[in-house]
Structure 1
Amino acid sequence: MLKNKNAELQKQSNESQKLLNKVNMLEDELFSHKNSLKGLSSNSEKVAENLKKEIHTLQNDKKVAERKADSLNAKISELSSSLTANFGTKQVEATSQKLPEVKWSTNIQYLIKYQLVDEEILRKLEMGFITPAEVEDLLVQPIDKPTAITGVYVESSKKKISFIEAAEKGFLAKTYALEFLEAQAATGSLADLATGQIHSVAEAVEMGIIDVSMKDKLMEAEKAVRGYVHKGRMLSVFQAMEERILDRYKGKKILEVQVATGGLINPETLTRVPACIAVEQGLLSKEILQSLYDPVSNPRGFHNPDTGQKAYYSEVLKTCLYDVDGGVFLTPFGERHLTSTSPLSPHKVSVVNSSCGSEMSTHEAFKGKHIDKKTYLSLSRLESEWQEKPITDPSGNMCHIITDNRSGRQICLESALSQRFLEASELESYRSGALSIYEIVDIIFSRMVIVEDVNSTIAGLWDVTQKKRLSILQGFQQGLTDRATALRLLESQACTGGICDPSSGEKLTLCDALNRGLVDEGLNQQLQPFEQAYNGIVDPLTGKTLTVSQAAQENLFPKDAAFRCIEFQLLTGGPIDPVTHDRVSPEEAIQRGLVDKVIASSLKDEKHHTKALSCPKTKRRITFKEALERSVFDCHTGLRLLEATKLHGFGAKSTFHYSTQRVQI
């Protein structure tokens, strides 16, 4: 009854909103007419006066529509609360273990704002392939599969072992092993490593999965799932913290684990609830949620078995492998760094089969039918965060750009189609919702053949900590390099073909680079001469296009800037003919008079190379030649990237997206 009434009021609210939009549209139109009449003669003043009266009438209608909409929204909110309260009164019988159906009214815009649903789900929702109710069902999951880290994957033997066995073999300290076992117990994921079947602590002790000496600590951790009994009530972790029966530091550590593994656990329903919805249900407060990844109020409470460094549970989870044998997550241990994201490899190993020793990427596992589509999508969401955005290119054409917000990679659907990396039928399947955004990206990447550009200058930076590609300007803005170094690197780009966008591999003019945010206004002015050096400097007397060396000899170009341009070009493949934009050998360039022989000879001697750059990684002074030698070729574009790190306490403070839900497998 309440649901039907809610739906009816929602319909009325939508109609009221349409009316309100129509009033606004007409109001704008009438004001437009009014402005156009200002320049007319006094004979038109009566027309303007009539329009004012119509505007006044419409404004009154608008106020009425707004009051009606507010009233209807208030009623809907009241009914939604009734539905939530009605849901909250249901209890789970301890003997039956049957979970109740979870339903409540959730604002879709709220879910979008806090990234609780991804682009793929939104697109299907817009096209009518799924309903809002089905979206809600996706967000609330029963505790029936392990989502926590279950054991260790030994890279040398390609076998999995339990945390207890790893501690016995000396791979990690016993206290570290206990940390991960407590995390399993606190998320209802204490699993048999061989089968993936989850058990209670008591069952695990009885079956010999865990040692009896750990029972008491794990039973205490398990209360995070079963609930903390207090004054006849069954409390969640947060509620127990508020009642002061659970230490706040310990409670925050448990909450961070639960958020990372799928959501806060409601002990009354034994379901995982996304963090931001848990706030609405009183399972968490906004203040605690916002402080979960604050290293001051909630220090990192786990140790990465592979590095030994302190980490949040979510950080360790992102480095894990999914074992198809048992359907469990394993943390890797060894020297191969299988799950490490690098610009050198397009796909990291994400899936293993410990029963036969096979290792593969998520896409390879899906294509080989080792995992189903649901698992493929879930693992893909852990690795990347692809979003599509339409833009207008410099020619005025509409392009659809897909960007990975985590790694900084970017592809254009139209370019992929024209280069035959994507078939028209596949694009249509993507548009219809038959193919996910992750599938379309993997299809494109699987067909691309990237060749290293040996003539590439430094196209961008690779943030070693965030595992992400950055433009030179972004690197400066985020405190990874100083402005002087950023300027020199951008000078090298401008005089060798254009400003590089490391996310796509494009080389742009300064005008386009400014529009795209690859340079700012100040840099744009400073780089103008270097773009001229690439395109040639026109002699005002003869009209002849000169090289930068020739222009400097004629005093048409600053000599110090000319010297840098020649250095940049010589070290990245040879001088560039400004007319054809072809590279020529130094010998040919000297013969043709494109480069001064004295300058070319002096640049062969490394003593003339100035240490004008600060290494973005070590912060030591280096030459441009040394920067090229330290760079790596990006597997995504074939261009050079320079590794970068941020000095402790320098640059903007990084943020952690705590609200994103981990999708269940």
Structure 2
Amino acid sequence: MVNLELSKSHGKIENTFQGNKTLLVRRGRLNDNSKLLEAEQMDNKGSTSVQNAVAPCMSQNECITHTGDSVGTRYSKMNIAHHVELLVHNLPSQLHTKMSGKLPEIANLNNNTILPALADDSGPYATNTSRNEVFPSNETGKFQGLRHCVSVKELVEADLLNKNVAEQLEKGVKTVSQVQKSLGKYLNQVTSIAGLYLESSKQKITFNEAAKEEIIRSSVALEFLEAQAATGFVVDTLSNRKYSVQEAIEKGLLSPEFRKALLQAEKAVTGYLHNGKALSVFQAMEYKLLARQIGTQLLEVQIATGGIIDPVRSVRLPPETACKQGHLSHEVARNLYKMLGNARGFHHPNTGQPMHYAELMKLCVVDLAGNHLLLPFGTRKISTPSPAMPSAISVVDTSTKSEITLYDAFLKYYIEKQTYLERSEPQSQWKEATEKSEGTTRSFLTNVSSGREFSIDDALAQGRISQVELNKYRDGHITVTEFADMLASRIIEPPNPNSPIAGIWDPNECRRISVLKAMHHNLVDRLTATRLLEAQACTGGIINPATGKRYSISEALQKELIDTEIAASIQKSQQAFRGFLQPGSQQVLSTVEAVRRNLLGCNLGHHFLELQHLTGGLVDPNLQGRISLEDALYTGLVDEQTAQRLQDETRHSRNLVCPKTREKISFKEALARAVFDCHTGLRFLEAADRATALTLNQCFSA
């Protein structure tokens, strides 16, 4: 099967050939399809060295026609290797056109490519439909654009196709179908959020129907429908078909009250007429035909869903190309979110929280039954990362009501490798780092976005990965994203009931952060941060939440897990675990004995004992392990009065401020509210999200 990388003018041309079996897969279930032999023959015929296009082989020299078949009943062609080793060889690690680097703020926004299909036949535009519908019939050498056919010449002019591929099309080396599929997101593929995924029933619903059934507000539904209209199509998630706004209204898919607003939004696709010319959104802004705030929001949506729309050619353009062709400026592209400011034009249907469209797309799941992006709605928050889950749910099948992660979908051949990498890499941000200590070099995989870190050496020593798998990663046959997902799926630790609060879960960034960093981000106050770190120190050491490893105060300072002010204030906490030295001798005393000899204040000593008691038992530095309160009482480590005080929860000080609710809570209550991290087994306290924090700030300031 030929896998071709589309690089246009931005990168080196690559092509690889892989003689793997080609099977037809329907919703993840392998079928002994009668067309298998034909598919293999087509692939073998297409095994020619070709450059500059992304195009898995499909058929020979056919024109693209829209048959009107629903997306849910078409087959997705997948490249199935003879075994895992073959699967990871010679597959392109990236499918997107590489940016030139001039637009760092938006280069990673096009990260929501939906599942590839044989051809985009999801519309109602069948071969027997009338000529006055959105798409006319194709002619040889024509491609389906957003609203009309696009010629090879127009694709070359739009910088979506280079002349080499154009020549290959003319010679029959490449087929129109191959190139149509490879350019799907720039041509007529649905790339917007198609509807809601109802978590309770595991069903999908259109935004219009959700508003009718009063699941969401009409104003929220209109926001998402405007985004659909402004990026190409109104989507019917039940039939998996796409329509123009007028057709959707005529078919009863849209409420009449939305008509005017959606027709206006659709001009972002068809163009804003001015002096006989159809202008793009940016051009309409320049001519002051469109308010800058509205235009900027439309540009944000188009960039997030695949590119700026050229209404004349009826295609989407990557931002860099759009800048070259006058449909965007570098200044607007760089400052897009500055121009938007706090004006997030969309509201999360669940929470009402204002968000950018790109942020909402990251929360979407891919529906195998419809090849569309759906936004989860409900209380389970399946697509929202959590410390309790190795990976969030990214793929659903509404026909079978199954939910799986993106990595599992790839392993089970539900999606192709290129789709897995396209959707996971922009959000994963895994990098390899090394650390030299005592003459040895250790390798780690770190993820800044999630706050996770895995030791490659430890994983190998513990048998979680094999040397063969590590060699594949080292040789480049497995990408860092795939290797990290492999580790994440295998490194699962059970909850540690004796864990203190190891860190803070930031729901805004969906990542694990240290207590100190949470304080710097105003998620916890300094006093609460100090007391949480105090609890860590007196129960074994300061914790790195990325790995679960503990460090002394001096080591934690070097690793920026604490600052100098906190370090000075928690020195005695560390002694509560390591022991107090008797002045004038080398005798190491326990906390209880230090109190008895007046080396430690009674209240502070009892506080340390309380923290230890709640996290697995008291500590005697002269003995190994932790000691239960019963054993401590039996051995005389504590007296009966001290034991009763430790067991009396009414005497536990409520000296912490909950980062989620701002309530005064005790350490025991903090432990009860915490969630266990699946990779370390340690407890994390969840902070308030931005919307909740804003509400709480207003309440406390009133």
- The structure-2 alpha-carbon separation of the partners of 1:161 and 1:109, relative to structure 1 and needing over 3 Å to count, comes to closer
Q: Which residue in 2 is equivalent to 1:599?
A: 642
- The structure-2 alpha-carbon separation of the partners of 1:297 and 1:572, relative to structure 1 and needing over 3 Å to count, comes to closer
- The structure-2 alpha-carbon separation of the partners of 1:281 and 1:485, relative to structure 1 and needing over 3 Å to count, comes to farther
- The structure-2 alpha-carbon separation of the partners of 1:281 and 1:593, relative to structure 1 and needing over 3 Å to count, comes to farther
- The structure-2 alpha-carbon separation of the partners of 1:402 and 1:577, relative to structure 1 and needing over 3 Å to count, comes to same
Q: Which residue in 1 is equivalent to 2:198?
A: 154
Query: Matched residue of 2:678: which SS?
Result: coil
Instruction: Assess if the C-alpha contact under 8 Å between 2:186 and 2:316 holds in 1.
Output: yes
Which is strand-richer, 1 or 2? 2
Instruction: Assess if the C-alpha contact under 8 Å between 2:105 and 2:334 holds in 1.
Output: no
Q: Which residue in 2 is equivalent to 1:143?
A: 187
Counterpart residue type for residue 482 of structure 1: D
Deviations 1:388-418 (A, max 9, x none): 1423255453333323333222222222222
Counterpart residue type for residue 342 of structure 1: S
Query: Aligned equivalents of 1:638 and 1:397: distance in 2?
Result: 28
Q: Which residue in 1 is equivalent to 2:148?
A: none
Matched, 1:648 2:694: yes
Deviation of the 1:293 alpha carbon: 4.0
Taking structure 2 as the reference length, what is the TM-score of the superposition? 0.69
Corresponding residue to 2:467 among 424, 431, 444: 424
Counterpart residue type for residue 625 of structure 1: K
Query: Aligned equivalents of 2:600 and 2:321: distance in 1?
Result: 62
Matched, 1:451 2:494: yes
Matched, 1:500 2:547: no
Q: Which residue in 2 is equivalent to 1:534?
A: 577
Q: Which residue in 1 is equivalent to 2:369?
A: 325
Deviation of the 1:245 alpha carbon: 0.3
Corresponding residue to 2:301 among 257, 260, 264: 257
Q: Which residue in 1 is equivalent to 2:212?
A: 168
Deviation of the 1:268 alpha carbon: 4.8
Counterpart residue type for residue 224 of structure 1: A
Corresponding residue to 1:439 among 474, 479, 482: 482
Which blocks of at least 5 consecutive residues in structure 1 are unaligned?
1-5, 8-95, 98-104, 120-132, 652-665
- The structure-2 alpha-carbon separation of the partners of 1:234 and 1:401, relative to structure 1 and needing over 3 Å to count, comes to farther
Matched, 1:391 2:434: yes
Instruction: Assess if the C-alpha contact under 8 Å between 1:249 and 1:298 holds in 2.
Output: no
Counterpart residue type for residue 561 of structure 1: L
Q: Which residue in 2 is equivalent to 1:490?
A: 533
Query: Aligned equivalents of 1:501 and 1:175: distance in 2?
Result: 44
Cα RMSD, aligned residues only: 3.4
Query: Aligned equivalents of 1:593 and 1:266: distance in 2?
Result: 82
Query: Aligned equivalents of 1:181 and 1:479: distance in 2?
Result: 36
Percent pairwise identity = 40
Deviations 1:109-145 (A, max 9, x none): 55778654999xxxxxxxxxxxxx9xxx999952331
Q: Which residue in 1 is equivalent to 2:627?
A: 584
Query: Aligned equivalents of 1:621 and 1:206: distance in 2?
Result: 57
Instruction: Assess if the C-alpha contact under 8 Å between 1:409 and 1:469 holds in 2.
Output: yes
Matched, 1:468 2:514: no
Deviation of the 1:639 alpha carbon: 0.5
Residue correspondence of structure 1 range 93-492 to structure 2 within 5 A: 110=102, 116=108, 142-193=186-237, 196=240, 198-201=242-245, 204=248, 210=254, 214=258, 216-275=260-319, 278-279=322-323, 282-285=326-329, 288-289=332-333, 292-293=336-337, 297=341, 299-381=343-425, 384-392=427-435, 394-395=437-438, 397-492=440-535
- The structure-2 alpha-carbon separation of the partners of 1:174 and 1:114, relative to structure 1 and needing over 3 Å to count, comes to closer
Query: Aligned equivalents of 1:548 and 1:277: distance in 2?
Result: 68
Instruction: Assess if the C-alpha contact under 8 Å between 1:239 and 1:283 holds in 2.
Output: yes
Which is helix-richer, 1 or 2? 1
Query: Matched residue of 1:504: which SS?
Result: coil
Q: Which residue in 1 is equivalent to 2:157?
A: none
Instruction: Assess if the C-alpha contact under 8 Å between 1:300 and 1:311 holds in 2.
Output: yes
Query: Aligned equivalents of 1:277 and 1:612: distance in 2?
Result: 57
Counterpart residue type for residue 465 of structure 1: N
- The structure-2 alpha-carbon separation of the partners of 1:275 and 1:649, relative to structure 1 and needing over 3 Å to count, comes to farther
Query: Aligned equivalents of 2:611 and 2:366: distance in 1?
Result: 45
Query: Aligned equivalents of 1:532 and 1:259: distance in 2?
Result: 56
Deviation of the 1:162 alpha carbon: 2.4
Query: Matched residue of 1:341: which SS?
Result: coil
Q: Which residue in 2 is equivalent to 1:34?
A: none
Query: Aligned equivalents of 1:139 and 1:389: distance in 2?
Result: 32
Deviation of the 1:504 alpha carbon: 1.6
Larger Rg: 1
Deviation of the 1:343 alpha carbon: 2.2
Query: Aligned equivalents of 2:625 and 2:265: distance in 1?
Result: 67
Query: Aligned equivalents of 1:189 and 1:638: distance in 2?
Result: 46
Instruction: Assess if the C-alpha contact under 8 Å between 1:142 and 1:270 holds in 2.
Output: no
Query: Matched residue of 1:186: which SS?
Result: helix
Instruction: Assess if the C-alpha contact under 8 Å between 1:291 and 1:298 holds in 2.
Output: no
Query: Matched residue of 1:338: which SS?
Result: coil
Corresponding residue to 2:556 among 484, 488, 513: 513
Deviation of the 1:149 alpha carbon: 0.8
Which blocks of at least 5 consecutive residues in structure 2 are unaligned?
1-8, 11-63, 66-96, 112-161, 163-178, 698-702
Counterpart residue type for residue 485 of structure 1: T
Query: Aligned equivalents of 1:266 and 1:139: distance in 2?
Result: 15
Deviation of the 1:460 alpha carbon: 0.8
Instruction: Assess if the C-alpha contact under 8 Å between 2:186 and 2:306 holds in 1.
Output: no
Query: Aligned equivalents of 1:565 and 1:327: distance in 2?
Result: 56
Instruction: Assess if the C-alpha contact under 8 Å between 2:99 and 2:107 holds in 1.
Output: no
- The structure-2 alpha-carbon separation of the partners of 1:211 and 1:109, relative to structure 1 and needing over 3 Å to count, comes to closer
Deviation of the 1:577 alpha carbon: 2.6
Taking structure 1 as the reference length, what is the TM-score of the superposition? 0.72
Query: Matched residue of 2:393: which SS?
Result: coil
Instruction: Assess if the C-alpha contact under 8 Å between 1:191 and 1:198 holds in 2.
Output: yes
Query: Matched residue of 1:434: which SS?
Result: coil
Deviations 1:76-99 (A, max 9, x none): xxxxxxxxxxxxxxxxxxxx99xx
Q: Which residue in 2 is equivalent to 1:620?
A: 663
Q: Which residue in 2 is equivalent to 1:102?
A: none
- The structure-2 alpha-carbon separation of the partners of 1:448 and 1:616, relative to structure 1 and needing over 3 Å to count, comes to same
Counterpart residue type for residue 146 of structure 1: V
Query: Aligned equivalents of 1:308 and 1:151: distance in 2?
Result: 16
Corresponding residue to 1:608 among 637, 642, 651: 651
Query: Aligned equivalents of 2:651 and 2:304: distance in 1?
Result: 53
Deviations 1:456-485 (A, max 9, x none): 111111123332212110111010111111
Count of residues in correspondence between the two structures: 534
Query: Aligned equivalents of 2:605 and 2:193: distance in 1?
Result: 57
Query: Aligned equivalents of 2:653 and 2:461: distance in 1?
Result: 44
Query: Aligned equivalents of 1:178 and 1:398: distance in 2?
Result: 56
Deviation of the 1:524 alpha carbon: 2.0
Q: Which residue in 2 is equivalent to 1:638?
A: 681
Deviations 1:231-282 (A, max 9, x none): 3544321221121101222212211211222333344554444446655654
Query: Aligned equivalents of 2:665 and 2:586: distance in 1?
Result: 39
